[in-house]
A and B are shown apart, each in its own frame.
Chain A
Amino acid sequence: MYSRLYKAIVSAPPLLWVGFFLLLPYALMFVHSFWAVRDGMLVHEWNLRNYHTLLSNPVYVGVLFRTMRIAASVTLFSLLLGYPLAYYLSFHAGPRKELLYQLVIVPLWVSYLVRGYAWKTILGSDGVLNGFLQYLHITHEPVGYLLYSPFAVVLMLTHIYTPFVFLPIYAALEHIPRPLVEASQDLGANPRSTFLRVILPLSMPGLLAGATFAFVLSLGDFLAPLLVGGPSGTMIANIVQSLFGAAYDWPLGASISVCILIITVTLLFMTERLEKRWSFK
């Protein structure tokens, strides 16, 4: 048995870490959301006006809904890309598995900003994609809506978060005992039926974890809209950023953050429940 002193010493660093860097900031954010700004000064005056503004101003509500729409699209597209990729690697890649796995993972080592600027050079008016389209005479002048649009944001975020979706799905697929797949075939199920009745249900926890990653990370993203979003691609985190920056309305920014936090926590809670339903240990 370990002594109480030993236990206290060992558990102190993580507790302090969580306390100072997670709980304290959240508490401050929560408190700020009930304060106000008057004449450019933060005043400690308890009120619910921030929440009222947030819910009654169509701009904020609109951006919040757009953000959720973008996050949902990113989730969908990363699943559509990530699942087949993970399935192929786990079941059919054979000896190429290791190499392909590394190729999927490598982009994670490249700076987010570099990947963002890469999309700018691809999608821009004088970018690679426009040049290519004109070279093929599909278009005669640069297409403007490729960059600075929700489309560009979804594209970039899908590119960035697909590995995050791929990883848990791949792990879940790798954990499916292969005799189960053989048993299914042995009992007369063709490959499609085996996938729907055995592989998909058993990979659900991974799929849910991946979908949660993509949705939650996209929901709070502010760099992609900043780099490739333009005015029509602004997301809620950009609003928060400007409220804490140039607009200097910390209480309103804090109230939006609380809303995002509530959405996120609710979602995490729901997927947690779902994942429990789909785990069969």
Chain B
Amino acid sequence: MSAGASSLPLTSTGAASPLLEVRGVAKCFGAREVLKSISLDIAAGEFLTLLGESGSGKTTLLRLIAGFEQPTAGEIRMAGERLDTLPPYKRRVNTVFQHYALFPHLNVRDNVAYGLRVKNTPKAEIGGRVNEALLMVKMTEYADARPSKLSGGQQQRVALSRALVNRPQLLLLDEPLSALDANLRKQMQGELKALQREVGITFLFVTHDQEEAMALSDRIALLRDGALEQVASPREIYARPATAYTAQFIGQTNLLRGEVRGGVATCGALRWPVSGSDGAAIFSLRPESIPLAADGAAPPDAVRLRGVIRQQIYGGSSELLEVDCGNNQILRVRIPACGPLSGQHEFVFSAADAIRVRE
């Protein structure tokens, strides 16, 4: 799997030609290179998430697609036509801004109608479409309210409705849920996903929250320091991370550093058979892939290890253990809740679950 996404098949929809093509796009602010030659395809109807830490360049990429910034190099195409040369008001792209950016001098209805009015949509059509868009986000009863009178979640809905009423080909969402409290956030995630399925519009969603990305996306594009680290479906990116960074950023993992020689991987006290080239190697082993060794039959490729439990963190349905395997090798292990444990125990993992990753 390569970090450049362009060679990847579009696993989510299998559409022949992508809706949005980002080709070798780079962006510098002065001497600072914020994006380094990004290539990425987005299929029509897809929910793609740009995931990354702050400063990784995800918002910059979004702003390049919206037209608020110009790329230093590369090009962006939508439905086959050049997009990056158009001013923002000529792009069939709408944005949901991080802090909503609702017009304070207009009520909810006029905010939603804004896009239709400036494009001289017939008056008769505007009313109906605005009502429909408000109904979609359940904000009909607030149509006459000023944005300042609404809660964060309500403003969020209005912002969504204001963008969707224009029936864009592509909707850009810039951390739209980050200003909401945790419960509302979960609820809005569900509604957002349902809404996207309902309207069938392509969503490009920016977030720094990997759980959010996992819950919503068809595919995740993980950005690191302005370059794409990996682009894959949530399940694939979790199960088969390409790099140590991806493995650590998405979910929890144990990174085992060691070497491969003659078909055997050696990491501290652990040894197991692998295929692959010889040399230094890093393996990612998820905590939940290391159960307690049961008395029953273990899988044929099982690797057994003994360790002393140093710490146990109770998490309701599961327990997170820190197991000392000797030689300063500490493994994090997640097992179903089982009551307090102490002393030495035997654990087991399948060699296939130790994923060799790049640095």
Binding site for B on A (CB under 8 A): 177, 179-180, 182-190, 193-194, 197-198, 201-202, 278, 280-281
Contacts and interface: CB of A to CB of B under 8 A. Distances in A.
A281 B105 CA distance: 9
B89 A185 contact: yes
Given A183-B102, A186-B88, 4 more contacts: A182-B68, A182-B97, A187-B166, A193-B118
A281 B146 CA distance: 10
B245 interface: no
Contacts of A201: 105
Contact of B95 (A186, A197, A202): A186
B119 A188 contact: yes
Contact of B118 (A179, A180, A197): A197
Interface residues of B, number: 27
B148 A179 contact: no
B88 A280 contact: no
Contact of A180 (B67, B98, B101, B148): B101
A190 B88 CA distance: 9
A184 B146 contact: no
Interface string B114-125: 110011000000
Given A180-B103, A280-B104, A281-B148, A185 B119 contact: no
Nearest to A177: B101
A202 B102 CA distance: 13
Interface string B79-90: 000000001111
Contacts of A184: 103, 114, 118
Nearest to A187: B115
Contacts of A180: 101, 103-104
B162 interface: yes
Given A188-B89, A188-B119, A280-B146, A197 B97 contact: no
Contact of A198 (B90, B93, B103): B103
A204 to B, nearest CB: 9
A180 B146 CA distance: 15
Contacts of A188: 89-90, 115, 118-119, 166
Contacts of B88: 182, 185-186
Q: Which of B67, B95, B98 has the most CB of A within 10 A?
A: B95
